[in-house]
């Protein structure tokens, strides 16, 4: 076992969780403003910082040693970061291959979220209402069915991803309200990406598209991670407390 005093020192050596969460919110805002201002240099600089800041917040707000839940969620954030970078490059280079690679990064992230949250749902009382599952299943099926004719060679990867993120939404809804809301907003964000890329239903500029997508995406990830902090019994500030040996 790690000595109690060592655990306290390690936690206190890190920035306070509220500082890191504020930094994440600030960088998210700057990133969105960068899209509004069409400042590509600003958006490409800030986007790779988002998930590392959120991961740092989660680590600083977590007890030591890190639980399985936190470790798996950190892996999900790592693959989300990979997806962020690849999708950003694919957008700038208009490269379908990089888009699929970025989608793959987020696919792994969704699977990891499911792996992280499933034990919590199984242990919860009362169990999650089955209505959540029905809503996500219907939504995913209707969305893929609606876009199907427009997807072409992207039909299979989009369908697989839709299954993954809807499953994540179902499982996250059984953890707490923060994770449930975050997962729902995540689905909205990815829906906006799909509709904007593969259909003409959203008649808006690229600027407004990026603002809508990144606003919902950063909010979704922030809510999910805040829910993870709550799920492990930590306060928002995550103040370190001595652990009895």
Residue-wise pLDDT tens digits, 90-130:
877 777 788 899 999 999 999 999 999 998 887 665 555 56
Sign of CA dihedral 160, 53, 68, 61: negative
- The 3-state DSSP class for residue 127 equals coil
Q: What percent of the chain has pLDDT over 70?
A: 85
pLDDT of 8 over the 70 cut: no
On whether residue 10 sits in a domain, the answer given is yes
**Widest pairwise Cα distance in the chain:** 61
Query: 147 vs 218, which has greater pLDDT?
Result: 218
Element (H, E) at 34: helix 17-36
Residue 25 predicted with pLDDT over 90: yes
Q: Is the dihedral of CA 217, 61, 22, 44 positive or negative?
A: negative
Asked if residue 182 belongs to a domain, the reply is yes
User: Which pTM does this prediction carry?
Assistant: 0.85
Classify residue 240: in a domain, yes or no: no
User: Is 114 among the domain residues?
Assistant: yes
Give a yes or no: residue 236 inside a domain: no
Q: How many structural domains compose the chain? A: 1
User: Which spans in 153-205 are helix H?
Assistant: 155-172, 177-198
Mean pLDDT of 60-71: 92
Cα–Cα distance, 245 to 243 (Å, whole number)? 6
pLDDT at 92: 77
* Residue 189 domain boundaries: 4-231
Report yes or no on 245 lying in a domain.
no
Residue 198 is assigned to a structural domain of this protein:
yes
Q: What is the pLDDT of residues 192-214, one digit of tens each?
A: 998 888 888 777 788 888 999 99
pLDDT class of 74 with cuts at 50, 70, 90: very high
84 touches 48 (CB < 8 A): yes
Q: Distance between CA atoms of 63 and 11, rounded to whole angstroms?
A: 8
Domain assignment of residue 238, yes or no: no
Report CA torsion sign: 44, 168, 158, 139.
negative
């Amino acid at each position: 076992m790690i000595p109690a005093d060592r655990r306290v020192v390690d936690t206190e050596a890190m920035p306070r969780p509220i500082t890191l969460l504020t930094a994440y919110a600030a960088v998210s805002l700057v990133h969105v403003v960068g899209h509004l201002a069409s400042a590509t240099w600003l958006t490409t600089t800030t986007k790779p910082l988002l998930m590392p800041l959120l991961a740092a917040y989660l680590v600083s707000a977590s007890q030591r040693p890190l639980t399985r839940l936190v470790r798996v969620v950190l892996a999900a954030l790592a693959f989300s970061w990979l997806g962020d970078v690849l999708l950003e490059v694919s957008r700038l280079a208009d490269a379908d291959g990089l888009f699929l690679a970025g989608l793959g990064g987020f696919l792994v992230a969704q699977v990891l979220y499911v792996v992280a949250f499933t034990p919590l749902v199984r242990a919860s009382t009362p169990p999650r209402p089955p209505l959540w599952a029905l809503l996500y299943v219907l939504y995913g099926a209707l969305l893929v069915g609606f876009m199907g004719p427009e997807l072409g060679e992207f039909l299979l990867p989009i369908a697989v991803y839709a299954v993954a993120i809807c499953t994540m939404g179902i499982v996250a809804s059984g953890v707490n309200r923060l994770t449930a809301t975050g997962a729902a907003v995540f689905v909205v964000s990815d829906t906006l990406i799909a509709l904007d890329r593969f259909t003409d239903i959203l008649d808006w500029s690229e600027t407004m598209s990026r603002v809508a997508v990144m606003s919902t995406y950063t909010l979704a990830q922030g809510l999910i991670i805040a829910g993870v902090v709550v799920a492990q019994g930590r306060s928002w500030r995550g103040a370190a407390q001595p652990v009895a040996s």
